[in-house]
Amino acid sequence: MKLFSCSCCGQLVYFENTHCTACGSLLGFVPDQLEMRAFHPVGEHLWQISGSDATAPLYHQCSNFALQGVCNWMLPATDTEDFCLACRLNHTIPDLTQPDNHGFWHRLEAQKRRLIYSLLQFGLPLAPRSRDPTGLEFDFLADVEPTFSETGRVLTGHSEGLITMNIAEADPVRREKMRHLMVEPYRTLLGHFRHESGHYYWDRLINNTPWLNLFRDAFGDERRDYEAALKFYYDAGPTPNWQQFYVSAYASMHPWEDWAETWAHYLHLLDTLETAWHFGLSSQPPLPGAQQLAFVQRVNPYLVVDFDLLIDAWLPLTAALNNLNRSMGHEDVYPFVLAPAAINKLRLVHQVIVA
């Protein structure tokens, strides 16, 4: 994720900010610029980028920004939509008559916008299903009391462009319990969004395309019975020695899940490298033969075509991050070891995206 500065006073600001803590300006993200800007009001609920001349374009706030406080994206004044690019992907929002749900929704939206930011960086197809039958939408749902005909449990998942998220994942206590129960060391809201988006983009970028045979060579045959594979995974556990072939235990369940886990991991990698690049981080351990992290000081990782450059930067960066966490008495921030087979799968994801 980029670092941003207030375009009014220059103060460092972050992707989730709505106001500058130094000058008090309203801050908003402008998707077509991929930038945070400071705005001043010009009347009739319209805003203009601070410091621009009187002829500069006008903007209005996303309705979920102005009325609900769960967004910070802006739209051109000429756009008659009430909702920004990210919010118009919502099909169902949480029931706001329930006292905790507004806070859960706020957390969901914050992580969803991080996903959308990466998708915009890649220039991937992104349209709501209400306008494009191959588009993308989100349902944010809560478990309900069971009836005679249904369990009432909401399962996070993807189906034909609709990503469903159980809003309980936005509750840190419940998510931590599930993290330990499911033995998923990197169970996060952002991880869920990235994983489920991987299923969506498999349909858009792999299925019925020339990439399908390369996918099967790397990940296996997706025509394998999914329900049988799911049952076997939960009955018998992950593939033995899964660490030699997959980015996670769950990836060993079925080629579709392997792709989604690898896709999510690739987005983790790119976004973290971009953050390191914007902070000017480097890793140059004074040890013989130690890998050095240098390119992130010079190149936006989202623009790198050579995947090997990304991996060469990623591995020493994760080693540094893990050791920094241990110095604070915490567990590793990156509890993964990437085997050559997993790296080759990440390489294929990269090739598909940059093609």
Secondary structure of 166-191 as H, E, C letters: EHHHHCHHHHHHHHHHCCCCCCCHHH
User: What pLDDT does residue 149 have?
Assistant: 47
User: What pLDDT does residue 73 have?
Assistant: 98
User: What pLDDT does residue 291 have?
Assistant: 61
Phi-psi region of 241 (alpha: psi -120 to 50; beta: other; left: phi over 0): left
Q: How far apart are CA 50 and CA 61, in angstroms?
A: 15
User: What pLDDT does residue 217 have?
Assistant: 97
- Beta partners for residue 12, in sequence order: 5
Q: How far apart are CA 194 and CA 70, in angstroms?
A: 20
User: What pLDDT does residue 148 have?
Assistant: 47
Q: How far apart are CA 314 and CA 292, in angstroms?
A: 10
**Cβ-contact 236, 252 below 8 angstroms:** no
User: What pLDDT does residue 107 have?
Assistant: 96
The neighbour count for residue 33, using CB atoms within 10 Å, is 10
**Cβ-contact 21, 51 below 8 angstroms:** no
Q: Say which DSSP state 139 is in.
A: E
User: What pLDDT does residue 293 have?
Assistant: 58
User: What pLDDT does residue 292 have?
Assistant: 60
User: What pLDDT does residue 295 have?
Assistant: 52
Residue among 33, 201, 30, 31 at smallest CA distance from 124: 201
Token duo for residue 321: 């991050």
3-state secondary structure of 318: helix
Q: How far apart are CA 65 and CA 268, in angstroms?
A: 26
Tens of pLDDT along 40-97? 999 889 999 998 888 899 999 999 999 999 999 999 999 999 999 999 999 999 999 9
- Total count of residues recorded for the chain: 355
CA distances to 294, 296, 308 from 304, rounded to whole Å, are 14, 10, 10
User: What pLDDT does residue 335 have?
Assistant: 86
Q: Which stretches of the chain drop beneath a pLDDT of 50?
A: 147-149
3-state secondary structure of 133: coil
Q: What predicted TM-score, i.e. pTM, was given to this entire model?
A: 0.92
Residue among 46, 65, 47 at smallest CA distance from 109: 65
